[in-house]
Chain A
Amino acid sequence: MSTLLPHIFNGLTLGLLFALIALGFTLIVGVMEVINLAHGSLFALGAYFALTILGGGWIEGTAVGDWWMGVPLGARYVLALAFGPVLAGVAGMALELCVRRTYGKAPLYGLLLTFGAALVIEEAIRVGWGTGEKSLPLPQAINGAVLIGGLIFSWYKLFAAGFALIAIAAVWLFLERTPYGAIIKAGAHDSEMVRALGYDLSRLRSLVFGLGSALAGLAGVVMVPIWGLRPHLGVDVVIPAFLIIALGGVGSFWGAVIAAIMVGLAVGITGAYASAWSMMSMYLLLIAVVSFRSRGLFGRKSALEV
Chain B
Amino acid sequence: MITLSDIPPRAGAWLTPQIVVFTAILATAPLWLGTIGLYQYLGIEIAIWMIYALGFNLLFGYGGLHSFGHGAYLGIGAYAFGLFQHHVGVSLWGGLLAAVFAAGIAGALVGAAVSHRRGIYFALLTNAYGQVFWFSAIKLHWLTGGEDGLLNIPRPTLDLGFARVDLNDNMALYFFVATALVVSVVLLWRIANSPFGRVLQAVRQNESRTAFVGYDVWWFKWAAFVISTLFAGFAGGLFAMAQESAYPDIMSLHQSGLIVMMVLVGGGLVGFWGPVYGVVLYFVARDVLGTLTETWLLWYGLMFMAVVMFRPEGLAGALHVSARRLPFRAAPRRASVGPA
Let me know if chains A and B touch directly in the complex, using CB atoms closer than 8 Å.
yes
Q: Is the CB of B131 within 8 A of A283?
A: yes
* Size of A's binding interface in residues, CB under 8 A: 37
- A1 CB to closest chain B CB (Å) equals 29
- A116, A119, A279 — most chain B CB neighbours (10 Å): A116
Q: Is the CB of B128 within 8 A of A112?
A: no
**A256 interface residue (CB < 8 Å to B):** no
Q: Is the CB of A127 within 8 A of B298?
A: yes
**A242: nearest chain-B partner, CB-CB:** B124
* Binding site secondary structure of chain A: helix
Q: Is the CB of A107 within 8 A of B305?
A: no
Q: Is the CB of B301 within 8 A of A116?
A: yes
Contact of B309 among A98, A108, A277 (CB under 8 A): A98
Bound complex: CA A15 to CA B165 (Å): 59
Chain B residues whose CB sits within 8 angstroms of the CB of A279 once the complex forms: 135
Bound complex: CA A242 to CA B121 (Å): 10
Q: Is the CB of B305 within 8 A of A290?
A: no
Q: Is the CB of B121 within 8 A of A290?
A: yes
Q: Is the CB of A119 within 8 A of B257?
A: yes
Chain A residues whose CB sits within 8 angstroms of the CB of B121 once the complex forms: 290, 304-305
Q: Is the CB of A115 within 8 A of B298?
A: no
**A173 interface residue (CB < 8 Å to B):** no
Chain A residues whose CB sits within 8 angstroms of the CB of B127 once the complex forms: 239
Decide yes or no: A283 and B128 within 8 Å by CB, A35-B120, A111-B66, A111-B123 being known contacts.
yes
- B330 CB to closest chain A CB (Å) equals 27
Chain A residues whose CB sits within 8 angstroms of the CB of B129 once the complex forms: 287
Q: Which of B195-251 contact A (CB under 8 A)?
A: none
**B122: nearest chain-A partner, CB-CB:** A290
**B274 interface residue (CB < 8 Å to A):** no
Chain B residues whose CB sits within 8 angstroms of the CB of A108 once the complex forms: 66, 119
Instruction: List 16 A–B pairs whose Cβ atoms lie within 8 Å, in order of A's numbering.
Output: A98-B305, A105-B312, A112-B66, A112-B264, A119-B261, A119-B301, A127-B298, A235-B253, A242-B124, A276-B139, A277-B139, A286-B125, A287-B128, A290-B124, A291-B113, A304-B120
* Top 4 A-B residue pairs of the complex, sorted by shortest distance between their CB atoms: A123-B298, A120-B301, A116-B305, A101-B309
